[in-house]
Amino acid sequence: MDYPQADIGVFGGSGLYSLLESPAEVTVHTPYGDPSAPITYGEIGGRVVAFMPRHGTSHTIPPHMINYRANVYAMKQMGVSRIIGPNACGSLQAHVKPGDFVVCDQFVDRTKGRKDTFYDGPQTTHVSSADPYCPTMRQVAVETARELGISVHDGGTVVVIQGPRFSTRAESRWFASQGWEVINMTQYPESYLARELEICYCNISLITDYDAGTAGATPVTNDEVVRVFAENTEKIKSLLYAMIPALPEERPCLCATALEGAVF
């Protein structure tokens, strides 16, 4: 089936269930099953943008049950070559405050049992994830955030836990002791699957709380996460609306050629 084509994809996280004004909608079918929701699409600054809430339109899909392969493949079928993945995250370090944005440059995977590759054989394919986030998109995100007066951290490691439970204090202290800045439940395998399809990917972590092991932190609740994200929804939308037109047409980054030398 031929689907409408878009330039840039956005996955909405907790609290971000819509993005575009007066969008069209299409239901995309994939070899990996159904995506989280139909894709809405429309223009932002002259670029055609495809949007999907990764948890579904009413947040009915918990992190460990998201069909990440279907979601990313659906974006590929829409012709998307770049994906922006904003999400709600906890902070593991005191200097990374609730309300801050972190444009991550590394992840640590602590999930289990998730379908995390498109290449199950018989052709063996190993795609490098040494630098998992697009450097071009990261630079544009950071520069645009600063121009908008948003408190943003250039780089940081996100540790991705399985969910749906939050961390124990001991786990949280362990993650913090490694120097990691951000904790989240959805960045893996979403970001890596994009790399396997040679799609550029940029994470924008909106810090909603201090994780349980951070000094002086009270245990996080879902209500608090949603409250802080909702307070900053317009801020993330403003960043996306300014960032998307600023992305260059060309893709000289390593993401665009990720499969070169990866196939045995």
**Residues carrying an active site annotation:** 209, 211
Instruction: Specify whether the CB–CB gap between 141 and 239 falls below 8 A.
Output: yes
Distance CA 6, CA 150 (A): 28
Q: What H or E segment, with its residue span, contains residue 41?
A: strand 39-44
Distance CA 104, CA 202 (A): 8
Q: What per-residue string of b and e applies to 181-195 under the rule 16 or more CB within 10 Å gives b?
A: bbbbbbbbbbbbbbb
Four-CA torsion 248, 14, 65, 137, nearest 10 degrees: 10
Distances (CA, A) of 126 to 97, 132, 167, 255: 36, 14, 31, 14
Distance CA 145, CA 235 (A): 9
Per the listing, tokens 């909608």 go with 25
Q: What H or E segment, with its residue span, contains residue 47?
A: strand 47-53
Helix or strand or coil: residue 100?
A: coil
Amino acid sitting at position 141: A
Distance CA 89, CA 185 (A): 8
Distance CA 84, CA 137 (A): 8
Helix and strand numbers (H, E) in the chain are 6, 11
